[in-house]
Structure 1
Amino acid sequence: MAPLPTLFVSHGSPMLALEPDAPAHRFLKGLAGLVERPQAILAISAHWETPVPALSLAERPQTIHDFRGFPPALFAMQYPAPGAPALARRAGTLLDQAGLAVAYSSTRGLDHGAWTPLALAWPAADIPITQLSVQPHRDAAHHAAVGAALRPLRNEGVLVLGSGSFSHNLMEFRGQGPAAPSPAWVTAFADWMRQALLEGRHADLLAWDRLAPEARRNHPTPEHLWPLYTALGVGTPGQPARLLHSSTDRAILAMDAFAFD
């Protein structure tokens, strides 16, 4: 098997799972056709935050509905994929060999950052999956180093899937509809980040909070950006990213997705 690319996707609002007309929904529905079927998936979700990288050993991860105020149909959704505890242990060994602290959870299920894109891309829920956390108090370089340690997994039939949001400031949400146009402060940031990724400007990307326009307005807290950096780290050093999708959701959520070869 050739090395698999690693992916970053934006999961947007939980409602994305129920909005078939949304461009990002349609993209995720076709995601499985863009990559060779993996033997297992390691998902990095913005919605699992821990002090050090943590991996789930759950054999049957529960579907976590980590949100409030949404329609009953969303809470009824289940993603009963088998767990991948052996992959979690393998990933933990790689992190340990790279000198990174690692922790495990025997019970952690799949939060909506993981199951929303997975349910659209692989609805049969028949690929084993484990989840990896982010460290909100750490920086981009740390998350890229986590990814670099996991790079051997690409040669082992594992799809590393980062799931966050290319922009994410929910304090700016004013009830905008799914197709509402983005304000200039979202567009400027997304354009800068996208160009830096496509040009392989990894040093600039590590300094995103200083160099990207409107960086902190788009990410007042950075947890939704960290899965992008882990995916970047898993990819080949210096290799430009491939843009797979670009759209916006509710004006403030840039929904870009990338592949790293």
Structure 2
Amino acid sequence: MTTRLPTYFVSHGGGPWPWMPDMRDMLASLDTALADMPRQIGRTPKAVLMITAHWEERAFTLGSNPAPGMVYDYGGFPAHTYSVVYPAPGAPELALRVQGLLQEAGLPVALDPQRGYDHGTFVPLAVMYPDAKVPVLQMSLRAGLDPAEHIALGRALAPLRDEDVLIVGSGLSYHNLRNFGSGGRAPSKAFDVWLQEAMAASPSVRAEALVNWESAPAARICHPREEHLLPLMVAVGAAYDDAAECVYHDETVFGGVTASSFRFG
């Protein structure tokens, strides 16, 4: 019997940082944390299901292309970062399996045979699995960004953990592009203290805290728009009863911002 895989929420950093030496040095602790995930997991999964903060659709949408291209969804970076290629194969059969799970759960789901990997997907994976041999299924958030619905999505995906599929929510625990540097230091720290406490709580308390995340200290300063927090809801839902562990924590990101990542199970 295959051992159940954990789930992860990863703070994926900024833009195409692995291909920019100065930025990669700044994010050295994130680099180390992402690179350590295969060791933590203990084996190579059959596939990675990546829920990316950089894709929203009216229904939860799955990339069904067997050979996805690239989506360079960032701006103002060096020219070479717009020719980066992460050639991991897609996972169209897994897309059909996930489609069935969501239909059974009564959640809206669609397939997209065209969309390529955005940087919420290819950036962390390029550090986790640099050889790009593990098949990848990219999945969108749902427009409206309802926390409870994204926890329900995670719960529908939970059987995949017993099918050797690694579920990763890719976002950022602090995401206010207009308030990096010293201005983000205090709010990001306050929000992270709340987040650490929420993740350490019992399953029902943790889920309730996430549904009501806007009541957290500095919540709307840290997330003027919550798309980078929603992948956490999916990772928690898929490992609903499992304990959390903080696997990445840095208080110096982007000039003083605090950011964290978590493993569940």
1:45-84 equivalent positions in 2, closer than 5 A: 45-84=52-91
> What pairs up with 1:1-261 in 2 under 5 angstroms?
1-17=2-18, 18=20, 19-21=23-25, 22=27, 23-35=29-41, 36-173=43-180, 176=181, 183-200=185-202, 201-202=205-206, 203-210=208-215, 212-237=216-241, 239-248=242-251, 249-251=253-255, 253-261=257-265
Cα offset for 1:253?
4.9
**In the aligned structure 1, how far is the partner of 2:119 from the partner of 2:256?**
19
Name the CA distance, whole Å, in 2 between partners of 1:181 and 1:172: 6
Alpha-carbon distance in structure 1 between the residues aligned to 2:10 and 2:94: 21
Taking only aligned residues, the RMSD between alpha carbons, in angstroms, comes to 1.6
1:199 Cα shift? 2.3
Please, which runs of 5 or more residues in structure 1 have no aligned partner? none
Instruction: Check conservation: 1:166, 1:253, Cα contact below 8 A.
Output: no
| CA distance in structure 2 between the partners assigned to 1:161 and 1:79 by the alignment | 17
- Dislocated runs of 4+, deviation >6 Å: none
Check 1:47–1:222 CA distance in 2 against 1; reply closer, same or farther (3 A cut). Answer: same
Deviations 1:113-165 (A, max 9, x none): 00000001100000011111012413211100000000000000100111000
Three-state SS of the structure 2 residue aligned to 1:246 is strand
1:257 is displaced (CA, Å) by 1.1
CA deviation vs aligned residue, 1:197-244 (integer Å, no higher than 9, x gap): 02233222221112x10111111111000100001000033x331111
Please report how far the alpha carbon of residue 251 of structure 1 lies from its aligned counterpart in structure 2 after TM superposition: 3.8
Aligned with 2:178: secondary structure?
helix
Kindly provide the CA deviation profile for residues 19-57 of structure 1, in whole angstroms up to 9, marking residues without a partner as x. Answer: 342211222122221113111011000000111100010
- 1:42 to 1:169, Cα distance in 2 relative to 1, 3 A: same
Q: Percent identity?
A: 38
* Matches of 1:204 and 1:28, distance apart in 2: 26
Cα displacement (A) at 1:182: 5.1
- Unpaired runs of 5+ in structure 2? none
| Structure 1 or 2: more helix by fraction | 2
Report how many aligned residue pairs link the two structures: 254
